[in-house]
Amino acid sequence: MTIQYTTDKERKKFYRGKDWEQIRQQVLERDNRECQQCKREGRVHVDSIKQDGERKSIQLNVDHIQELHDRPDLALNPDNLQTLCLRCHNKKHGRFHWRPRKADRWADDEAW
């Protein structure tokens, strides 16, 4: 019987488990701790080094290419996992809430 990972409780248990942590570390090493989406786009985004007492400036996630709830059978399959930076991971899941930049106050002639 395969767990479906449809509830938050099931997903949290999975992501806190030893099996996930082991495969996560393997995928990070396989991907050289680089965001694979940035790499596909010609950018380099490498994991930062954790300094005591400070947050890391770049945080990497191991992402399921085919989502956990859609394909629970691939939950621990390294071919279904990729390393993504926080920005790319959020973008993939539609978690960005873009705010328009404030217009340059000098760009409009009326501001003079």
Where exactly are the structural domains of the chain? 8-46+56-95
Q: What is the pLDDT of residue 112?
A: 46
Q: Which segments of the chain have a pLDDT < 70?
A: 1-2, 48-51, 55-58, 97-112
pLDDT value at position 80?
Answer: 98
Tell me the C-alpha distance between 13 and 78, whole Å: 19
- Residue 85: helix, strand or coil by DSSP? strand
